[in-house]
A and B are shown apart, each in its own frame.
Chain A
Amino acid sequence: MNLFFLSILLIVSGGILALILWRQFTVMKAVGVFAMSAGCLLGLIDALAKLFNPGQYSFSVDYLNVLSLSFKIDGLAAFFLVAIFAVSLLAAIYSFHYMDKPEKTLRTAVNYLFFSLLIASMALVVTAENMIAFMFSWEIMSLSSFFLVIYDHQSPENRKAGYLYFVFSHVGAMFIFAAFGIMYGYTGSFGFTSALPETAKILVFILSFIGFGSKAGVFPFHVWLPHAHPAAPSHISAVMSGVMIKTGIYGIVRMYWVLDLHTPLFGEIVMIAGMVSGILGVVYALGQHDLKRLLAYHSVENIGIILIGIGIGMIGVSSGNPLMAVLGFGGGLLHVLNHAIFKSLLFMGAGVVIQKTGTRTIDALGGLLKNMKITGVTFLIGSLAISGLPPFNGFVSEFLVYLGGFQGVALDRTPFVLSLLAIVSLAVIGGLALACFTKVVGVVFQGEPRSRAAENVNEKGPAMLVPMLLLAGACVVIGVFPRVFVLMALKGVLSLGLVSDTVSLAPFVQMTGNITLAVAIFFSVFLLILALRWVLYRGKTVSRSGTWGCGFTQPTVKMQYTGSSYAASILAFFKPVAPLHEDHPAIRGRFPNKTHYHSHVSDIAELHMGNVIVRPILWLFDQLRWIQHGDIHLYIGYILLAIVVLLFFI
Chain B
Amino acid sequence: MTKSILLWALAIILAPFFSAVILKVKAFFGGRKGSPLLINYYTLIKLFKKGSVYSTSTTFLFKLGPMVSLCAAITVLMFLPIAGQPPVLSFNGDIIFILYLLGLGRFFTIAAAMDTASPFEGMGAAREAYFPIICEATMFMILILFYILTGKLQLAAYFSGAHPLELWQAAGSPLLFVVISFFIILLTENSRVPVDDPATHLELTMIHEVMVLDHSGPDFGFIEMGSFCKLFFYSTIVASLIFPFELGHPALNMAVFFVVLLLVYVAVGVMESVMARYRMDRVPKFVLTSFALAFFATLITLEFVK
Contact = CB atoms under 8 A, between A and B. Distances in A.
Interface of A: 366-367, 369-370, 376, 380, 384, 387-390, 395, 398-399, 402-403, 406, 409-410, 420, 423-424, 426-428, 430-432, 434-435, 437-439, 441-443, 446-448, 511, 514-515, 517-518, 521-522, 525-526, 529-530, 533, 536-537, 540-550, 555, 557, 559-561, 565-570, 573
A399 B96 CA distance: 7
Given A406-B144, A431-B133, A518 B51 contact: no
B271 interface: no
B130 interface: yes
A384 B104 contact: yes
B71 A525 contact: yes
B135 to A, nearest CB: 8
B270 interface: no
Contact of B144 (A423, A448, A569, A573): A423
A537 B51 contact: yes
Given A430-B103, A533-B222, A570-B130, A399 B93 contact: yes
Contacts, number: 234
Contacts of B54: 542-545
26 contacts: A380-B61, A406-B144, A406-B153, A410-B147, A427-B139, A431-B134, A434-B107, A434-B129, A438-B110, A438-B111, A446-B114, A446-B115, A446-B117, A515-B97, A518-B91, A540-B52, A540-B217, A544-B56, A545-B53, A546-B55, A546-B56, A547-B55, A559-B119, A560-B119, A566-B122, A569-B280
B242 interface: no
A380 B59 CA distance: 13
A442 B122 contact: yes
B117 A447 contact: yes
B118 interface: yes
Chief secondary structure at chain B's binding surface: helix
Contacts of A549: 118
B92 A447 contact: no
A402 B136 contact: no
Nearest to A551: B203
Contact of B137 (A428, A439, A515, A555): A428
Given A406-B147, A431-B133, A549-B118, A390 B101 contact: yes
- Size category, B interface: 35 or more
Interface in B162-215: 203, 213-214
Contact of B92 (A370, A434, A514, A568): A514
Contacts of B110: 438, 442
A507 B23 CA distance: 47
Nearest to B104: A389
Nearest 7 Cβ contacts at the A-B interface: A561-B122, A442-B114, A431-B133, A540-B51, A447-B117, A435-B129, A514-B91
Contacts of A568: 126
B107 A384 contact: yes
A402 B122 contact: no
Contacts of B115: 442, 446-447
A544 to B, nearest CB: 5
A543 B56 CA distance: 9
A514 B154 CA distance: 12
A424 B54 CA distance: 40
Contacts of B104: 384, 389-390
Given A530-B67, A544-B53, A547-B117, 4 more contacts: A409-B147, A430-B103, A442-B111, A514-B92
A439 B113 CA distance: 11
B78 interface: yes
Nearest to A442: B114
A540 B133 CA distance: 39
B188 to A, nearest CB: 12
